[in-house]
Amino acid sequence: MTEKKILITGDSGFIGSHLVLLFTSKYPNYEIHGLDNLTYASNRDHLKSLATKSNYQFHKMDICNREAIINLFRFHKFTDVIHLAAESHVDNSIEDPVLFMQTNILGTLNLLDAFRQYSSGRFHHISTDEVYGDLSLDEPMFDENTAYNPSSPYSASKASSDHLVRAYHRTYGLNIVVTNCSNNYGPHQHLEKFIPTIIHCLSNDKHIPIYGNGRNVRDWLYVEDHVCALDLVFHNGKNGETYNVGSNNELSNINLVYKICDIFLDKDLIKSPHSLIQFVPDRLGHDRRYAIDYSKLSTDLNWSPRVDFDQGLLITVDWYLDYLKG
């Protein structure tokens, strides 16, 4: 018997692909519906193994198409939604903010309205630590009570969508949870993002562009650890609550580049990787440091990251070396 009928939006992107692979194998009694409009950031090749899964269906659809979304919910009556679909690249949001507001805010609104009419389970909204703004090097980490202070059009659009989800909980009594996660890394991420860019440049003897002085700090989490946290929060998180997801793994961009250079050196793939490093003009409004306190998730739901960063980075480099061979 089907226990749940879950709509996972953005399932053809980086994090969504890992989540849908986990859910379709771990929960054979769930009916999983993926939805994505297949933007440049998506890649269905990562989901080829789903072709043989009888508990998975895919809908190519734009969350901004309100009528189509409402009709889809009317027809399928999903019990739950896990919402990852978004425009996700900060640089693109600086070039084209309107697209980010449409997708990330209005798209989320359409899903909430459809959910409100046709669903009775949980709406899990996936968000980012970037909604909190940035920290100086000595400030304490963000926790769930940190005031929102987004810096980029991307983070402002995600902050707005978080507010909408919480407002629908308060106003209409929707069963919701929100997770705000730090930077993810791992297989399946689009080449435009920082770690894949570094690997791509090193593999092709190209300059590695680093914004500003490279001292910006990020807290890196392996994507499968994030997906395990999403599984836990979706099933066991408290209605109306927010959970931060992070890894206590703060690293400056330049030190991250050095680490990946070292992997290339160890594998004897390159002679002088450091000569490829090129500092470029800083990103507008570039956040200095992100660091996230995940003690609530750890205390309430017994989650902690499992994948050691050096190990995860090695898996990631190996995966991209294979992927880039085509």
Q: Interface with ligand NAD by CB under 6 A: which residues?
A: 10, 12-16, 36-39, 41-42, 62-64, 84-88, 103, 107, 126-128, 158, 181, 183-184, 190
**Pairwise CA distance, residues 298 & 143, whole Å:** 13
Taking the least distance from each CB to ligand NAD, the nearer of 163 and 265 is 163
Shortest approach of ligand NAD to residue 206 CB, angstroms?
22
First-to-last CA distance in the chain?
40
> Least CB distance from residue 11 to ligand NAD, whole Å?
7
Q: Long-range contacts of range 296-301, CB-CB < 8 Å, 24 or more positions apart? A: 296/143, 296/144, 296/243, 296/244, 297/229, 297/232, 297/233, 297/243, 297/244, 297/245, 300/237, 300/238, 300/243, 301/232, 301/233, 301/236, 301/237, 301/243
Work out how close the CB of 214 gets to ligand NAD at its nearest, in angstroms, rounded to a whole number.
19
Closer residue to ligand NAD (CB): 37 or 273: 37
Q: Which residue is nearest to ligand NAD (CB)?
A: 13
Annotated catalytic residue 91: no
CB under 8 Å to 134, separation ≥6 — which residues? 151, 287, 288, 289, 290
Establish whether 129 is a catalytic residue. yes
How would you class 55 by CB atoms within 10 Å of its CB: exposed for 0-12, middle for 13-18, buried for 19 or more? Answer: middle
> Would you say 119 or 155 has its CB closer to ligand NAD?
155
Residue 130 catalytic? Answer: yes
The catalytically annotated residue of 30, 56, 132, 154 is: 154
In DSSP terms, 9 is beta-bridged to 35, 83
Task: Name the residue nearer to ligand NAD (CB basis): 16 or 153.
Answer: 16
On the 0-12 / 13-18 / 19+ scale of CB atoms within 10 A, 182 is: buried
CB of 1 to ligand NAD, least distance (A): 30
Contacts of 4 (CB under 8 A, 6+ apart): 27, 29, 30, 31, 79, 80, 121
Distance in Å, CB of 88 to ligand NAD, minimum: 4
Catalytic residue among 36, 62, 130, 224: 130
Identified catalytic residue from 11, 31, 36, 129: 129
In the numeric block, which tokens belong to residue 93? 């949001």
We find the least distance from the C-beta atom of residue 123 to ligand NAD, in angstroms, to be 14
201, two tokens: 């440049």
**Nearer of residues 79 and 244 to ligand NAD, judged by Cβ:** 244
Residues 6+ apart with CB under 8 A from 157: 86, 87, 93, 97, 100, 101, 103, 104, 105
* Residue closer to ligand NAD (CB basis): 79 or 155: 155
Q: Catalytic residue positions?
A: 129-130, 154
